[in-house]
Chains A and B, each alone.
Chain A
Amino acid sequence: MNTDWLAAAKARCASMQHNWDFATIIQNWPVLMVGLKGTVWIFLVTVVIGLSTGLIVGICRYAKNRWIRWPATALVEIFRNTPVLVQIIWFYYAFPILTGIDVNPFLAAVLGISLNTMAFSAEIYRAGIQSIEPGQWEAGKAIGMTYSQTMRRIILPVALRRILPALTNRGIEVFKMSTLASVVAYVETLSKAKLIADLNYNPIEAYTAVAILFFVVLYPIVQLTYVLERTLRKSDA
């Protein structure tokens, strides 16, 4: 009985043997490249906005004044606990109706991905800042440094070194999140692949090509950050 089922499954697999055919993908390579350009562009914009606003929010999360700390906490919790996909769709469809402000696909995707990146990186920055020994604050204070001087010159440089691996992970996450922008028809790799698939009836090759493309772009970058981490680690203990 059991073996019957297994045989049936195997037969079904055999009948679904796929003949890989990447010819149409190669023909449409320029189209994919236009998509990749869109991916890289939205990645750059969102990673810069997300990681820099995240730094500000992360510092505010650490503030002693609760009127600074609470709004920052609220921002983090709102955007950390809602799906990016929903945020992008919300900014594209709901936000314009509620505010009368027009939002194009690019802006909707940038808002969704940046705010999510802000929320997650803010927590990374905060944890990094909190990991610094209180004695470092004391030493800065004792030679007459202000709070912001100590933060900029003493605390952040060491904290950033410590959280570099976590920030790198965030960056990789953001690069992959860019595919979500396709939901509002922003032109990036995934949406172009879908176009190719629809025109050529080759979704398997098209989406496989997307996966390979992402890997080929990300893998060398990740290797590079390992090197960077190792160099930084040499300078302090």
Chain B
Amino acid sequence: MPNETVKLAQVYKSFGELEVLKGIDLTVNSGETVVMLGSSGSGKSTLLRCINFMETPTAGHIYLHGDRVGAEKSGKIYYRESELCKLRSKIGMVFQHFNLFPHMTVLQNVMEGQITVLKRGKSESIQKAQAQLERVGLLDKADEYPSRLSGGQKQRVAIARALAMDPEVMLFDEVTSALDPELVGEVLKTMRQLAEDGMTMVIVTHELGFAYHVANRVLFLDDGVILEQGVPHDILKHPKTQRMREFLEGHSLFKLPE
């Protein structure tokens, strides 16, 4: 049986009256690359943000390596802040707008979590930071400030910053959407390399070509439920539902390979 890294069981999330996630069941196995598709407002970001508790689910359970997050008392689930911080330190997240720390150099950005959260020593942190910067091809920018980098470089630093925490799983939320078209490729290439290295990843993207070539599994989220899922070839070429067909037609400008 494959090693379940992340499991969501009947996860619901509402913002006030608005129910955004309506019973999500999802298992991500170790080393798997899952790509999540869906139109704007379908709840993709919310689902991703529930996995590392940037948002707290209204109901349902989330497991990391089989351990359930939170403690249940008389039917209600309680989360301690310290438990959630620990959990988040094991789950890497990369954002659409990079969110690098502007007052720190690239190297310091990648060291920060190691030192403040993991309490690693300085020399070890530097070593690990340099290794991850090397991995995303930006070791030569280690001493630059983020403001001096291009969007694509910023995003690769953000990826290195997450990787330096030795995460069990990486979450990507439309990480190429804010980039100039000519910079998208370098970031996708980095992510593809991670997938080949066996990193467990959940990726929200509109890059259908990337989904087709890199994903092990593609999910289609629609109105807070997983409407379809399957291997890229099946789901992208032969969608079963009308909703997904419409969605894919809307993306015809990202041509799928024949």
Contact = CB atoms under 8 A, between A and B. Distances in A.
A235 B88 contact: no
Contacts of B88: 141-144
A133 B88 CA distance: 20
A145 B102 contact: no
Interface string A210-237: 0000000000000000000000000111
Contacts of A235: 103, 145
Nearest to B105: A235
B97 A135 contact: yes
A146 B112 contact: no
B177 to A, nearest CB: 14
Interface string A118-140: 00000000000000010110110
Interface in B205-252: none
B54 interface: yes
Given A236-B145, A237-B147, A145 B85 contact: yes
Contact of B165 (A143, A146, A153, A154): A143
- B: contact size bracket: 20 to 34
Given A153-B112, A161-B103, A236-B147, A142 B81 contact: no
Centre residue among A142, A147, A157 by max chain B CB count within 10 A: A142
B89 A143 contact: yes
A143 B99 contact: no
B40 interface: no
A-side interface size class: 20 to 34
A158 interface: yes
Tell me which of A136, A141, A143, A158 has the highest count of chain B C-beta atoms within 10 A of its own C-beta.
A143
Contact of A139 (B87, B100, B145, B147): B100
B162 interface: yes
Given A149-B116, A153-B112, A236-B147, A142 B93 contact: yes
Contacts of A143: 88-89, 92, 112-113, 117, 161-162, 165
Contacts of B97: 135
B52 A149 contact: no
Nearest to A136: B99
B101 A136 contact: yes
Contacts of B145: 235-237
Among B52, B89, B100, B113, max chain A CB count under 10 A is at: B113
B95 interface: yes
B64 to A, nearest CB: 13
Contacts of B92: 142-143
B68 interface: no
B189 interface: no
Contacts of B65: none
B183 to A, nearest CB: 19
B116 to A, nearest CB: 5
B165 A144 contact: yes
B49 to A, nearest CB: 9
B214 to A, nearest CB: 23
A8 B21 CA distance: 85
20 contacts: A133-B99, A138-B95, A139-B101, A139-B158, A142-B91, A142-B93, A142-B95, A143-B165, A144-B87, A144-B88, A144-B165, A145-B117, A146-B85, A147-B81, A149-B117, A153-B112, A157-B103, A158-B101, A161-B103, A236-B103
List the 7 shortest-distance A-B pairs measured between CB atoms, nearest first. A144-B89, A237-B147, A143-B113, A139-B99, A135-B99, A142-B93, A144-B117
Given A143-B113, A146-B82, A153-B112, 16 more contacts: A135-B97, A138-B95, A139-B99, A139-B100, A143-B89, A143-B92, A143-B161, A144-B89, A144-B113, A149-B116, A149-B117, A154-B101, A158-B101, A235-B145, A236-B103, A236-B145
